[in-house]
Amino acid sequence: MAADKDEVAWAFSFPAIDGGVLDLATFKGRVLLVANTASFCGYTYQYDGLEKLNTAKSAAGLTVIGVPSQDFNQESPDNATVKTFCETRFDIDFPLAAISHVKGAQAAPFYAWVAAQRQWQPAWNFNKVLIGRDGRIAGTFGSGDEPDGPALSAAIAAALLRAA
């Protein structure tokens, strides 16, 4: 799918981890933090920070979305295992996509759009894309940008202040 320069995040969806569709249009007007995740990565502990961030900032308009990916060979083989791991180990309550590609020719349409817009794709697990209330990309962040770190915190605060 060719990414249109005028498209916004609300045009995309992912298969949901428990079946159905995770349609980003349902979050229109909110700030999204989309993180590609993996169960067996050195950064897997960030699930805890992502859940705390989602809980703390939800009322202000933030939603975290996890996108499990096997692109870096550190994810469980099936959605049910990933879902159970996230719920039992980290008490994840934010939306999770089904296991998806996040880079390269097979990237999910959302990630293909981010690559076209920013010439950026996840370089590793727990890379993050911040989407503003207007559906446009407000920033991209690497694995080392912690959910409660200064760079991400400042970008989220600024995005939450902007109108849709």
**Burial call 72-109: b when 16+ CB within 10 Å, e when fewer:** bebbbeebeebbebbeeebebebbbbbbbbbbeeebbb
Q: What is the pLDDT of residue 6?
A: 72
First to last CA, the chain: 26
Q: How many residues does the chain have?
A: 164
Longest Cα–Cα distance in the chain:
40
Average pLDDT, the chain: 95
Predicted TM-score of the model (pTM) = 0.95
Q: What is the pLDDT of residue 4?
A: 54
Catalytic residue among 9, 41, 82, 130: 41
The bridge status of strand 128-131 relative to strand 137-141 is antiparallel
Q: What is the pLDDT of residue 163?
A: 78
Per DSSP, helices labelled H in 32-149 are 46-57, 79-90, 109-118
Q: Is 86 a catalytic residue?
A: no
Contacts 24+ apart (CB under 8 A), 136-143: 136/8, 136/9, 137/9, 138/31, 140/114, 143/43, 143/46
- CATH number for the region 9-161 comes to 3.40.30.10
Tell the burial category of 126 from Cβ atoms under 10 Å away from its Cβ (0-12, 13-18, 19+). buried
Contact predicate 46/147, CB 8 Å: yes
Q: What is the pLDDT of residues 106-157, one digit of tens each?
A: 999 999 999 999 999 999 999 999 999 999 999 999 999 999 999 999 999 9
- Of the candidates 37, 22, 16, 21, the one whose C-alpha atom is nearest the C-alpha of residue 80 is 16
Q: What is the pLDDT of residue 64?
A: 98
